[in-house]
């Protein structure tokens, strides 16, 4: 016979219930405190933007169409999916080629960096874990694509290729897939889950670039040595990088990367660009003028062209072959990186935009551009039928 008497609750039962309830409240509070929506204002597009074809016409003249603020440290316009994105303080704004605001994303945290690629805009914000709060937003409509949150450096620079995105800090580098799942971390990892997984946590990373399955980094170590290191972007365990080549160098900063090679600028014993393949062999050497770099982490002034990699060193625009990364051309009147249109190289100069043959180095003509009293660096982009210049903290559209 089953008793109909009510169950008696003991003091231990009340204590257990209280503990469970408290933990539940803490859990809910933690989720609310770390969720992307808190302190966030996302204003998506009213409808998805459908990108038009990019222009293949080189005009004879260009005039300003519109301009917008861009306070980011990006050296060139951030363009993907037929739209252009900018930073204004801690807010990301994305515009259509006619200068209309498509969507915006605002947070009450400091914006560390942002980049664009794989049809998304990727923003990193500083929280109590450094610049480790990352949000990826679909470029064409301003909807969330992915988020991640992890301990990171207090200062980071974006790294992006057609296959990976990530950040470089002064202590480590991370790469992620387009869904922000980490594929590799390298360097000095704070609070590692297991010891001994990082091969050189004592060294300081000075530069990094990635392409396809190759990640290349340069770093200096406490004993004064410096290295160029190659590794796979997707090791079996993302926490345990697999170095495929260790190349000792006098010094160096990566300025270009291919699928199986990297080029570095070195000061010693004389200024040169040295190219190494993934077998560790020196496959190219080219004397250049001496240039300087800011303290790491920083974004390299590079841009891909159909048949060349390009690097702006602050004085010249250097074109390198895509596989061997040998220097092919140098344009000494450039103000920044350029673009390819109709089989020609277009790059900014003091007079305007030069149209050049990238095979011979001949400048065919110059499209005049009036920049008024602006005298700084300029990098060029194209979005739809509009040419855009990044001039300091301004994006200027020309048409």
Check which CATH number belongs to the domain holding 101 and give it: 2.130.10.10
In a domain, 296, yes or no: yes
Greater model confidence, 287 or 17: 287
What is the token pair recorded at 254? Answer: 């990566």
CA dist 193 and 239 (Å) reads 9
In a domain, 7, yes or no: no
CA dist 26 and 34 (Å) reads 12
Confidence at residue 6, expressed as pLDDT on a 0 to 100 scale: 38
Dihedral sign from CA coordinates of 34, 37, 41, 45: positive
CA-CA-CA-CA torsion for 255, 256, 262, 264, nearest 10 degrees? -20
Residues whose CB is less than 8 angstroms from the CB of residue 241 and which lie 6 or more positions away in sequence, other chains included: 184, 185, 186, 198, 199, 231, 232, 235
In a domain, 17, yes or no: no
Q: Is the pLDDT of residue 157 over 90?
A: yes
Q: Which residues pair with 84 in a beta bridge?
A: 79, 95
What is the token pair recorded at 308? Answer: 């060349």
Which domain range does residue 228 map to? Answer: 28-398
Confidence at residue 190, expressed as pLDDT on a 0 to 100 scale: 78
Mean pLDDT of 144-155: 95
Confidence at residue 26, expressed as pLDDT on a 0 to 100 scale: 35
Specify whether the CB–CB gap between 209 and 304 falls below 8 A. no
Confidence at residue 37, expressed as pLDDT on a 0 to 100 scale: 56
Specify whether the CB–CB gap between 126 and 169 falls below 8 A. no
Q: Is the pLDDT of residue 35 over 80?
A: no
In a domain, 262, yes or no: yes
Task: Tell me the pLDDT tens digit for each residue of 269-290.
Answer: 999 999 999 999 999 999 999 9
Confidence at residue 192, expressed as pLDDT on a 0 to 100 scale: 72
Burial-class residue 61 by CB neighbours within 10 Å (0-12, 13-18, 19+). Answer: exposed
CA dist 173 and 171 (Å) reads 7
Question: What percent of the chain has pLDDT above 90?
Answer: 87
The helix/strand/coil state of 172 is: strand
In a domain, 177, yes or no: yes
CA dist 123 and 231 (Å) reads 25
Confidence at residue 185, expressed as pLDDT on a 0 to 100 scale: 96
What is the token pair recorded at 188? Answer: 């000095």
Residues whose CB is less than 8 angstroms from the CB of residue 151 and which lie 6 or more positions away in sequence, other chains included: 129, 130, 132, 190, 191
Domain count of the fold of the chain: 1
Confidence at residue 14, expressed as pLDDT on a 0 to 100 scale: 38
Confidence class for position 23, pLDDT limits 50, 70, 90: very low
Confidence at residue 2, expressed as pLDDT on a 0 to 100 scale: 39
CA dist 378 and 281 (Å) reads 35
CA dist 206 and 202 (Å) reads 13
Q: Is the pLDDT of residue 337 over 70?
A: yes
User: Mean pLDDT score of the chain, rounded to an integer?
Assistant: 91
Residues whose CB is less than 8 angstroms from the CB of residue 24 and which lie 6 or more positions away in sequence, other chains included: none
Task: Tell me the pLDDT tens digit for each residue of 343-391.
Answer: 999 999 999 999 999 999 999 999 999 999 999 999 999 999 999 999 9
pTM: 0.89
Confidence at residue 1, expressed as pLDDT on a 0 to 100 scale: 39
The helix/strand/coil state of 394 is: strand
Q: Is the pLDDT of residue 18 over 90?
A: no
In a domain, 154, yes or no: yes
Mean pLDDT of 177-184: 97
Q: 157: left (phi > 0), else alpha (psi -120 to 50), else beta?
A: beta
Confidence at residue 11, expressed as pLDDT on a 0 to 100 scale: 37
Task: Tell me the pLDDT tens digit for each residue of 193-219.
Answer: 778 899 999 999 999 999 999 999 999
Specify whether the CB–CB gap between 102 and 94 falls below 8 A. yes
Mean pLDDT of 1-30: 39
Mean pLDDT of 44-59: 97
Specify whether the CB–CB gap between 16 and 47 falls below 8 A. no
Q: How is 221-240 classified by DSSP, letter by letter?
A: -TTS-EEEEEEESS-SSTTS
In a domain, 316, yes or no: yes
Q: Is the pLDDT of residue 34 over 90?
A: no
In a domain, 18, yes or no: no
Mean pLDDT of 337-343: 99
Confidence at residue 9, expressed as pLDDT on a 0 to 100 scale: 42
Task: Tell me the pLDDT tens digit for each residue of 350-361.
Answer: 999 999 999 999
Greater model confidence, 186 or 13: 186
Confidence class for position 191, pLDDT limits 50, 70, 90: low
Q: How far is CA 331 from CA 308, 334, 335, 346, in A?
A: 14, 6, 10, 11
Q: Is the pLDDT of residue 309 over 80?
A: yes
């Amino acid at each position: 016979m089953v008793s109909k008497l009510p169950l008696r609750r003991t003091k231990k039962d009340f204590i257990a219930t209280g503990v469970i309830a408290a933990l539940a409240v803490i859990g809910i509070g933690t989720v609310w405190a770390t969720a992307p929506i808190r302190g966030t204002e996302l204003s998506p597009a009213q409808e998805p933007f459908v990108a038009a074809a990019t222009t293949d016409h080189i005009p004879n003249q260009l005039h300003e169409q519109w301009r917008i603020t861009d306070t980011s440290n990006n050296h060139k316009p951030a363009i993907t999916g037929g739209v252009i994105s900018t930073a204004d303080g801690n807010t990301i704004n994305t515009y259509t080629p006619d200068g209309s605001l498509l969507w915006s994303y605002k947070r009450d945290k400091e914006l560390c960096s942002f980049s664009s690629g794989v049809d998304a805009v990727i923003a990193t914000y500083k929280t109590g874990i450094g610049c480790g709060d990352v949000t990826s937003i679909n470029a064409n409509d301003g909807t969330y694509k992915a988020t991640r949150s992890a301990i990171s450096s207090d200062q980071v620079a974006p790294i992006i290729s057609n296959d990976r995105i990530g950040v470089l800090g002064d202590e480590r580098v991370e790469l992620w897939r387009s869904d922000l799942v980490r594929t590799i971390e390298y360097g000095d990892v704070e609070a590692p889950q297991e010891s001994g997984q990082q091969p050189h946590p004592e060294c300081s990373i000075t530069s990094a670039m990635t392409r396809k399955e190759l990640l290349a980094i340069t770093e200096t170590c406490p004993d004064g040595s410096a290295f160029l290191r190659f590794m796979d972007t997707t090791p079996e365990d993302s926490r345990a990088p697999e170095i495929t080549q260790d190349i000792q160098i006098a010094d160096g900063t990566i300025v270009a990367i291919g699928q199986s090679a990297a080029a570095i600028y070195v000061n010693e014993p004389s200024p040169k660009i040295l190219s190494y393949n993934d077998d560790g062999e020196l496959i190219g050497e080219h004397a250049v003028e001496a240039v300087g770099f800011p303290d790491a982490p920083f974004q390299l002034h590079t841009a891909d062209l159909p048949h060349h990699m390009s690097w702006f060193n602050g004085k010249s625009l250097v074109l390198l072959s895509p596989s061997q990364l040998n220097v092919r051309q140098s344009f000494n009147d450039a103000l920044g990186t350029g673009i390819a249109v109709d089989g020609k190289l277009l790059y900014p100069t003091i007079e305007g935009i030069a149209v050049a043959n990238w095979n011979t180095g001949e400048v065919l003509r110059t499209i005049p551009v009036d920049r008024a009293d602006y005298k700084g660096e300029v990098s060029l982009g194209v979005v739809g039928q509009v040419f855009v210049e990044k001039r300091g903290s301004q994006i200027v559209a020309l048409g």
